[in-house]
């Protein structure tokens, strides 16, 4: 009988300690860059939720928060008709400095779509911080302003990231590989 806890069969790519250290570094850099300016942070649900909660607690800024959630159908979230916003922003971002908080930048299609949605609201500025970046997978011309870790082309879970809604609770980032039975 299998007694190991869920997730324990996955190889750790980034430890909880390394994540915590890097999150503090990102927060220090963001705090310096926006010094004296109120910042609206927008978490993209669900994947970015744990990163968001940790990051904002280290920001030395006047901060307000909002949340955005959407589902995409088919291959490209950027193509029209394939995205449904399931939780829209509660407040307008018009005229504000806005920082999007993402879990991972992969092909770039999600962020390209999001950027279009948010730019339509005419923020004063719009930047993105992503915990993870997989640049080798990029098919859209987007880049993050702040990156936690650049990772190889592996499917990862934990610290908010899921596979079929599983593994979000793991405290570290782990590689999910097809298991040989
Ligand atoms: P993109 O549109 O291809 O850039 O994909 C970004 C979204 O795909 C992320 O916000 C995640 O929800 C999901 N995703 C991409 N790669 C991974 C991964 O390795 N693990 C978990 N989710 C991923
Ligand atoms: Mg996501």
Q: State in Å: Cα 179 to ligand 2 middle.
A: 24
Considering 97, 103, 106, 133, which one is annotated as catalytic? 106
Query: Quick one: pLDDT at residue 72?
Result: 74
- Please work out whether the CB of residue 47 comes within 6 Å of at least one atom of ligand 1: yes
Residue 178's pLDDT band (boundaries 50, 70, 90)?
confident
Reported pTM: 0.92
Q: Domains of the chain, with CATH numbers?
A: 15-151 (3.40.50.2020)
Q: In angstroms, what is the span from residue 36 Cα to ligand 2's centroid?
A: 30
Looking at residue 84, its pLDDT comes to 83
Chain-centre distance for alpha carbon 172: 15
For residue 77, pLDDT over 70 is answered with no
Mean pLDDT of 113-141: 95
pLDDT: is 121 or 83 the higher one? 121
Higher-confidence position of 85 and 95 = 95
Ligand number, closest to the Cα atom of 68: 2
Among the ranges given (10-14, 44-48, 79-83, 133-137), the one the predictor scored with the smallest mean pLDDT: 79-83
**Ligand 1 proximity of 156 Cβ (cutoff 6 Å):** yes
Say what the pLDDT of residue 83 is.
76
Beta-carbon contacts of 85 under 8 Å, excluding residues fewer than 6 positions away, are 68, 69, 70, 117
């Amino acid at each position: 009988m299998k007694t190991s806890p869920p997730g324990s069969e996955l190889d750790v790519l980034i430890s909880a300690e390394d994540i915590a250290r890097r999150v503090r570094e990102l927060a220090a850099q963001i705090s310096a860059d926006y010094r004296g300016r109120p910042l609206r942070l927008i978490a993209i649900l669900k994947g970015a939720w744990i990163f968001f909660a940790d990051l904002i607690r280290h920001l030395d800024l006047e901060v307000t928060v909002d949340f955005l959630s959407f589902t995409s159908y088919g291959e490209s979230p950027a193509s029209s008709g394939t995205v449904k916003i399931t939780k829209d922003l509660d407040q307008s971002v018009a005229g504000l400095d806005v920082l999007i908080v993402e879990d991972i930048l992969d092909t770039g299609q999600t962020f390209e779509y999001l950027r279009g949605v948010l730019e339509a609201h005419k923020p004063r500025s719009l930047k993105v911080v992503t915990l993870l970046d997989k640049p080798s997978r990029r098919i859209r011309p987007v880049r993050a302003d702040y990156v936690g870790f650049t990772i190889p082309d592996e499917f990862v879970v934990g610290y908010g990231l899921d596979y079929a809604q599983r593994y979000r609770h793991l405290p570290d980032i782990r590689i999910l590989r097809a298991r040989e039975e």
